[in-house]
Structure formats: structure tokens, C-alpha cells
């Protein structure tokens, strides 16, 4: 198997978990019905996904983004990401949409997939571990995205089709990174910092408030567990 085939295989794995997460969310929604356990589970998984997104932000996107840029571009790209996704979130809120988790997932997934393709060219081991890490974090994020989209009046079928289509964005992003960004670390770093600004805004504006639930420990521990998975993944990659 040559290097290009490996990139397609591993980025495909990291992407298909988007669809698998949506399927799991659909299954549990049907099986559990409306009860307190389902409510706790949904809030716990929201916090778990938030913890993983935060770990990706703190351990991967920001450190690697800062590595190849001076202070001024770091500030510009981070602030630009924050402001653009603030505007997008406000527009969606006025229209009654609830897709913050989906936006956060894509802002996390796409830059990391591009980085995956760029990294694979020089370090196959790190690229493989990064693909596994991305795949694991996509599961809870897609699980929550399914719930958000259904709450925004998307049908179950339409939501699953959308997640299935988005699952291929990892392959596209990785191929872009592999063919065009191997020798452009500044562009890759700028994408990571732009995504970081948007993700941090979405975490504290939408994801963390949704995870809060009175008289239960599941959301808080879910967030810690999600961040721990990020620590483990970064330790393996590093």
C-alpha cells in the first residue's frame, strides 16, 4: 500500500465516525424515548464532546498553529476565527438554528484533516495516530450534532444523509494537505488558529451551557473524560 492509499484509508476512518456517531444518536433516541436517563446521557455526551474539542484546541490546534507563526499573525487569525463564528452563530440564533456542535466539529475536523495530509508526507506514524485521535473525537461530536440538527427541525433521514456526506470531508481535507500544503506550514498554522478562535467561542457560548444539568454528575465527569482522551491521544502522537 503506497502513501497516498494510506492517507485515504486513515482519513476515511477518521471521517466515517461522523456518520457512525449520528447512527448511534439515532439508535439511542429511538430506544430510550423521553426519560431522565436519556436527558442525562445527552448532556453527558455533550460535555464529553466539549472536553474532546477543548483538548484538541489546547493540545493540538493552538500549539501547532503557534509553532510556525509570529505573534501578529497568531493574533489576527485567532481573532478572525472568533469574530466570524460569532457572526455566524448570531445569524443562526436569530433563525432558531441549533448547530453549534456541528460547526465546532467541522472547525475541529477539517483543519486537523488538512494537517493530517500534510504530516503524513513526512511522518507516517504520527499521521496514523492523529487519524485515530480525530476519529475518536468525531464520535461524540457527531452524536451531539445529530441531536442539534433534529432540534432544528431536520428529519432523522436528512440529518443522517448530511452527516454521511460530511464524513467524506476528512478525505478531501487530507488530500488538500498532502498535495498542496506539505511545504506551506504557515498556511496550515493559520487554518488551525482560525479554527481555534471559532471553536473557543462556540464552546463557551453554546456547548458548555447546553451541557449543564442540575443535580447530576454526568456532564462534569463527561467533560473531564473527554479532555483525558485528548491528553492520551496527544501523548501517543507526541
Residue 31: per-residue pLDDT: 74
Residue 35: per-residue pLDDT: 64
Residue 79: per-residue pLDDT: 96
Quick check: 74 and 193 in contact, CB under 8 A?
Answer: yes
Residues 6+ apart with CB under 8 A from 94: none
- Cβ-in-10-Å burial (0-12, 13-18, 19+) of 35 comes to exposed
**Mean pLDDT score of the chain:** 82
**Least confident segment among 60-69, 77-86, 114-123, 166-175:** 114-123
**DSSP result, the chain:** --HHHHHHHHHHHHHHHHHHHHHHHHHHHHHH-SSHHHHHHHHHHHHHHHHHHHHHIIIIIHHHHHHTS-HHHHHHHHHHHHHHHHHHHHHHHHTT---HHHHHHHHHHHHHHHHHHHHHTT-HHHHHHHHHHHHHHHHHHHHHHHHHHHHTT--HHHHHHHHHHHTTHHHHHHHHHHHHSTT-HHHHHHHHHHHHHHHHHHIIIIIHHHH--TT-SHHHHHHHHHHHHHHHHHHHH-
Residue 59: per-residue pLDDT: 82
Give 138-148 pLDDT, tens digit per residue. 888 788 888 88
Give 121-180 pLDDT, tens digit per residue. 777 777 777 788 788 778 887 888 888 888 878 888 999 999 999 999 889 999 998 888
C-alpha 225: how far from its chain's center? Answer: 16
Considering the chain, what percentage of its residues have pLDDT values greater than 70? 87
Question: Which residue has better confidence, 115 or 70?
Answer: 70
Would the pLDDT of 67 be above 80?
Answer: yes
> Rounded distance, CA 19 to CA 35, Å?
25
For the chain, what are the domain ranges?
Answer: 3-237
Would the pLDDT of 226 be above 70?
Answer: yes
Quick check: 119 and 127 in contact, CB under 8 A?
Answer: yes
Residue 237: per-residue pLDDT: 66
Angle between helices 100-120 and 185-202 (to 10 degrees): 160
Give 29-53 pLDDT, tens digit per residue. 877 666 666 677 777 777 887 788 7
> CA nearest 14: which of 103, 139, 104, 124?
139
* Predicted confidence band of residue 65 (pLDDT cuts 50, 70, 90): confident
Give 170-214 pLDDT, tens digit per residue. 899 999 988 888 788 888 889 889 888 888 887 787 666 666 666
Residue 75: per-residue pLDDT: 96
Amino acid at each position: 500500500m503506497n502513501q497516498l492509499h494510506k492517507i485515504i484509508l486513515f482519513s476515511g476512518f477518521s471521517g466515517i465516525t461522523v456518520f457512525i456517531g449520528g447512527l448511534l444518536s439515532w439508535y439511542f433516541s429511538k430506544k430510550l424515548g423521553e426519560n431522565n436517563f436519556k436527558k442525562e446521557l445527552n448532556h453527558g455526551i455533550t460535555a464529553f464532546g466539549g472536553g474532546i474539542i477543548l483538548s484538541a484546541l489546547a493540545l493540538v490546534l493552538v500549539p501547532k498553529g503557534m509553532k510556525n507563526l509570529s505573534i501578529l499573525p497568531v493574533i489576527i487569525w485567532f481573532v478572525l476565527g472568533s469574530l466570524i463564528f460569532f457572526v455566524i452563530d448570531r445569524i443562526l440564533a436569530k433563525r432558531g438554528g441549533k448547530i453549534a456542535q456541528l460547526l465546532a466539529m467541522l472547525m475541529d475536523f477539517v483543519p486537523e484533516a488538512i494537517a493530517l495530509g500534510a504530516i503524513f508526507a513526512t511522518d507516517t506514524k504520527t499521521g496514523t495516530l492523529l487519524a485515530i485521535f480525530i476519529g475518536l473525537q468525531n464520535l461524540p461530536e457527531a452524536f451531539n450534532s445529530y441531536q442539534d440538527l433534529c432540534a432544528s427541525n431536520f428529519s432523522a433521514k436528512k440529518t443522517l444523509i448530511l452527516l454521511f456526506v460530511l464524513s467524506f470531508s476528512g478525505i478531501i481535507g487530507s488530500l488538500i494537505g498532502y498535495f498542496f500544503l506539505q511545504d506551506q506550514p504557515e498556511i496550515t498554522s493559520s487554518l488551525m488558529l482560525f479554527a481555534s478562535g471559532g471553536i473557543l467561542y462556540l464552546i463557551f457560548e453554546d456547548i458548555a451551557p447546553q451541557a449543564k444539568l442540575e443535580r447530576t454528575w454526568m456532564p462534569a465527569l463527561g467533560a473531564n473524560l473527554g479532555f483525558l482522551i485528548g491528553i492520551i491521544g496527544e501523548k501517543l502522537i507526541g
